[in-house]
Amino acid sequence: MIAITGAAGFIGSNIVWHLNRAGRHDLIVVDVHETDAGNANLAPLAYERYLTKDAFRDWLRDPQNAGQLETLYHMGACSSTTETDADYLAENNYGYTRDLCELCLANGVRFINASSAATYGDGEQGYVDDEALIHELKPLNLYAHSKQDFDLWARAEGVLDRIVCLKYFNVYGPNEWHKDDMRSMVCKGFEQIRDHGQVKLFASDLPPYPDGGQQRDFVYVKDAVAMTVWFASQPEVNGIFNVGTGEANDWNRLITAIFKALGQEPDIAYVPMPEHLKGKYQYHTEAAMGKIRAAGYDQPCTLLEEAVADYVNNHLVGGKHLES
């Protein structure tokens, strides 16, 4: 069997969809809700059993249960970069992840964990996925610190040669509606165009970057999931890896791609950078992808305009969730 935590969420439900397409239905899906009834992301997908996060941890503590499991994709976490409850993040993102990791290692279960590119902070130290350098990183928010704390624990415990931690960059794609303000700008931009015919972007307050010229490594969720599940079949490949495209693109190109997908001319307005984001806003991210390529992953990433067009026309228009 295969288990996916955060399965009702964005990347988690995309992993379930990907596995369904590969013929796997023997899945345990894990999330925080008491029931999956009416869950929009999971409802169209196939799986064998649903467990809450605490029930799953208890289930995994039984060696007989753990013996049925081949891989755990641990995608569940509080992903809000504005969360201010440090104790909650310490328990939910760090402590729970550590517990699952120890149980998987004790029972021979492949453990594939979601870290985050947010751990790189402002990028001063670069975006190289080198375990020897992770102690030098300076996350900009409590969420990123919680992910960094687990990466540091895994290195200190000497287990990075037996698990996988994936630093996801700016992932966008279907099944992210529930994320509210944490949705990608493709999703929010589409809605702004639909409702107002215009998209608002933050103006730049750093001279090297023009308005809308702030850059991100935007990676389509279908590409991110393809990289993620690849590790399940590569038990000899372990450690910290970036999940991105290796190409930084600016917001203007991303938004222009949405307008193009809708057959409209771009209309972009720039608004001042909010005070609470100044000093905490990433102006440039670009995943170093040499490590995963050297490990053997050779699939190309979808061109930005093609990925945006697929997302817009096959999912956002009509509000279509992924279906198995």
Average pLDDT over residues 123-138: 93
Q: What spatial distance separates the first Cα and last Cα of the chain, rounded to whole Å?
A: 18
* DSSP SS3 for 66: helix
- Bridge partners, 122 (sequence order): none
Helix 221-230 vs helix 304-311: angle between axes, to the nearest 10 degrees? 100
Average pLDDT, the chain: 95
Q: What is the pLDDT of residues 240-280, one digit of tens each?
A: 999 999 999 999 999 999 999 999 999 999 999 998 888 77
**Annotated catalytic, 222?**
no
Average pLDDT over residues 30-58: 86
Residue 37 has pLDDT above 50, yes or no: no
Within the chain, how many helices (H) and strands (E) appear? 11, 13
Average pLDDT over residues 162-190: 95
Average pLDDT over residues 291-318: 98
Average pLDDT over residues 207-213: 95
d(Cα 40, Cα 77) in Å, to the nearest integer? 19
Residue type, 256: T
Name the band, by pLDDT with cuts 50, 70 and 90, for residue 34. Answer: low
Token reading at 48:
């064998």
Catalytic residue among 143, 168, 172, 220: 143
- If you classify domain 2-173+218-245+284-302 with CATH, what class do you get? alpha beta
Name the band, by pLDDT with cuts 50, 70 and 90, for residue 33. Answer: confident
Q: How far is CA 133 from the centre of its chain?
A: 22
Residue 46 has pLDDT above 80, yes or no: yes
**Annotated catalytic, 209?**
no
Catalytic residue among 53, 179, 260, 291: 179
CB atoms within 10 A of CB 26: 14
User: Which of 29-33, 169-173, 207-211 has the least mean pLDDT?
Assistant: 29-33
* pLDDT confidence of residue 35: 53
CB neighbour list of residue 139: distance below 8 Å, 6 or more residues apart: 118, 119, 120, 121, 145, 147, 148
